Amino acid sequence: MKKNILLLIPYGGVGGMERLALTFYKRMKKNGYNVKVVKLIKQNSDFINFGEDEIYLSDKDFFEMSFIKRALFYLSVPFKYRRIIKKEKITDSIGYGDMCNLFSSLSFTKENKIASIHALKSIELIRRTLLNRVYEWAYRNTYRNFQKVVCISEAIKDDLLKNCGYAFPYNLKVIYNPHDVNYIKSLASEDVMTDEEEQIFKEKEVVLFLGRYSEQKAPWHLIRSFSLIADKNPNTHLVFLGSGDQNIYKHLQELVQKYDLNDKVTFLGQKSNPYPYLSFAKVLVLTSYYEGTPNVIIESIAVETPIVSTNCTKGIWELMCVDWEKDYKEISESAILVDSGYISPTMFKDTFSFDSNLDLLDTETQFAEATIRSINTAPSIINRIQKNYKELLYKYDVDHSILQYLGN
């Protein structure tokens, strides 16, 4: 029987989950599957779209809805999913992230129902919001309705079982996010930069943030750290590629002003093809509080750009090291050089609040020092990546991943 696949995603931005869904969509279509994609929210600014195969449930973002309209929308989604699944005769559905997983689990349909979890949840659940309480309830109740719950790292699986009260260990399976490395490399060679952007990337040593402005990513720590980097290495330039929470974006701009970094920091917004920027960057940086296995790390390895990341989860080690179980260690005082860059002590200190004190935290200083070392020794780190290229990337074959998702 021919498979009819439904992919369920929250948005159409260029976040990791959306890029993963696009990778699956393209390969599944190429392999002859019928594929439909449901977006919870469609926006005019969407960079990821699926043409005639796309279905959206709202063209207004959550913050544009009143409390009552948002509540009614939440209540309606499982029923809308159910109608779509029956109309399209869906054989297999894949949800991306907690919200899509929750709605899928409440649709009570009979297809091969798959969920996927993309971040370390125990840290996220510290915030006792109503939605987080509902997600936690679902881990103990409605996730029984999934044939498979994909964790994108061993660290996420362990965290769900040990720290989140997850009640159905039999349906958890670790499958790493797939990546079409050759496609990424081909996109990285495209000429998409403006003259001004090209000047920055070719004349400066670019420290690149690629992702959403969110509490999870904690990008304010990056600007604070960069104040030291710029002081010690005047030719560096910090570039933000992405969008997200407008309150965080405003705070980032305020920090740029406070640290007098106006001519050292550039916000480029979202790009439909971020890979040329990633390829030309001197170093990719992540100051996240928590992660799963960030797609951008694999993408950075694919284009041979060194990485500096906080030690926000064991999943970082799974990506950045050939033999992560052997290399893994707790670190608190200084960054450690691994196969694709540096891993620095975690920034997370049991709170998500901004620190208004301009004095740098020890972890921010440690991150800055690791980034400076990465810039100064970039050729040797690139050599390490090239030497370990196949071993670092072999787990992320797209066809193999699709078979793991859809198989028994």
Task: Classify the C-alpha dihedral 263-206-396-293 as positive or negative.
Answer: negative
Q: 355 with 268, same domain? A: yes
**Residue 295 included in any domain:** yes
pLDDT at 356: 67
pLDDT tens for 240-284 read: 999 888 999 999 999 999 999 999 999 999 898 999 999 999 999
Q: 268 with 352, same domain? A: yes
Q: 230 with 366, same domain? A: yes
Of 175, 199, 218, the last residue of a domain is 175
User: Region 200-207: what's the mean pLDDT?
Assistant: 96
pLDDT tens for 87-97 read: 999 999 999 99
What lies within 8 Å, CB to CB, of 331 at 6+ separation is: 311, 343, 344, 345
What's the pTM? 0.76
CB 315 within 8 A of CB 120: yes
**Given pLDDT bands bounded at 50, 70 and 90, which one contains residue 299?**
very high
Q: 128 with 20, same domain? A: yes
Q: 69 with 119, same domain? A: yes
Its domain, for residue 314, covers 181-394
Q: How many residues does the chain have?
A: 408
Of 175, 191, 212, the last residue of a domain is 175
Of 175, 204, 233, the last residue of a domain is 175
Q: 150 with 218, same domain? A: no
pLDDT tens for 51-76 read: 999 999 999 988 899 999 999 999 99
Residue 340 pLDDT greater than 80, yes or no: yes
Q: 213 with 119, same domain? A: no
Half-sphere exposure of 25 (CA within 13 A, CB side): 23
Q: 76 with 164, same domain? A: yes
Q: 220 with 367, same domain? A: yes
Number of domains in the chain: 2
Residue 181's identity, in one-letter code, is V
Q: 224 with 339, same domain? A: yes
**Given pLDDT bands bounded at 50, 70 and 90, which one contains residue 35?**
very high
pLDDT tens for 388-397 read: 999 999 888 8
pLDDT at 330: 82
**Residue 405 included in any domain:** no
Longest dimension (CA), the chain: 63
Residue 354 pLDDT greater than 80, yes or no: no
CATH number for the domain harbouring residue 166:
3.40.50.2000
